[in-house]
Each structure stands twice: as C-alpha cells, then as structure tokens.
Amino acid sequence: MMEVDQDEVGQHNVGDSVGQLDDDSEALPCPQVFAQQMSLAEFQRQATYLTHNAVGNLKQSDDYKKWVNTCSVCRSCWYVNQCLPESSCPECAGFALERPCPICKGKCGRIWTRDVEMSKSFRKAHWDGVCGLPDHERHVYMLELFMDEKDVLTGIEDLNTAAG
C-alpha cells in the first residue's frame, strides 16, 4: 500500500495537472481554478444581489438615460434638452424633462417634471407638479385652460333662452 504524505494532500489546485502533454513536452499555461460549494439559496441570494447592482449601474449610465428619455414619436432626446413644439410633436409638447407650471404658465414659479412613462404610453406629454398659486387664482387659470370660448358663448345663449 502506498503512503500519502499528509502535507501534500489538499495543496494541489484543479489546474495543476490540466494542460500537460506528457513527460517530454512542456506544460501548457493554465489558469488556476478555484471552486467553492454553496447552497442553492446562497447562489440565488448572490445572483439577485449582483443582478440588482448591475441593473442599478446600468440605470445610472448616460447611455441608458438617453435611451429612456427619448421621445417615441419624433426621437428627440429629452435627456439632452431636445424637443419639438406641440404642433410638431404632442409627446414633446415643446419641453424636454422640465417645464414651468402649465396651469398658470409659470407665474407661480414652480417647475413641473415630465412623467416619461405616461408620456410614452399615451404619446402625449404628461407632467407631474402642483401649481403654487392660491386656490382662487388657480381656479381662474383652470377655467381658461379647460373652457373654450365657444362653450362659454353657448352657455350664455342657453341662459338667455331659458330666461326669456
């Protein structure tokens, strides 16, 4: 029976004998390979962590931000402040990622931000923000925005007809 020196046990790497041709030729260079056994749960935990980090890094890259923040209609890149007027592209609507308050046309000083996902879904500009004007002033602007002059005239005629 052959005796094995206990000092030599476990001191060889997986790559030590791989790549050797025979005794007369030189050994091919071979990378050292190390393996560690882990449970399936640990593998899944590490895979989730690494994937989460990789996706996070991707989302922070300029290339990704340019791709996500690009108009799906005219291909203007909002991330670099490109946009077309509303008459040319309803998804851009004349602004990139920020705009003055659309209710009071910026009189309140608030800046609204583009809801990129909604803008792309509906192919029409959508904005997140709150007008900073007091309620009674904001109400006047809301009426101007949503009431057509023709609707007002029709309403007045209807009132005159009903009264007379």
User: Tokens for 69?
Assistant: 């923040």
State the pTM of this model: 0.59
Confidence of residue 6 (pLDDT cuts 50, 70, 90): very low
Q: What is the rounded average pLDDT of the residues 17-36?
A: 61
Count of other CB atoms within 10 angstroms of residue 130: 11
Position 15 scores a pLDDT of: 44
The answer to whether residue 27 scores a pLDDT higher than 70 is no
Tell me if 83 sits within 8 A of 76, measured CB to CB: yes
The answer to whether residue 59 scores a pLDDT higher than 80 is yes
Give the contacts of 91 (CB within 8 A, at least 6 positions apart): 71, 72, 73, 74, 119, 120, 123, 124, 125
Confidence of residue 8 (pLDDT cuts 50, 70, 90): very low
How does strand 127-128 pair with strand 111-114? antiparallel
User: Tokens for 152?
Assistant: 């007002």
Q: Look at 52 and 88; give whichever has higher pLDDT.
A: 88
The answer to whether residue 11 scores a pLDDT higher than 70 is no
How does strand 98-100 pair with strand 127-128? unpaired
Question: Chain centroid to CA 113: how far?
Answer: 14
Q: What is the rounded average pLDDT of the residues 40-69?
A: 88
Q: Look at 20 and 127; give whichever has higher pLDDT.
A: 127
The answer to whether residue 22 scores a pLDDT higher than 70 is no
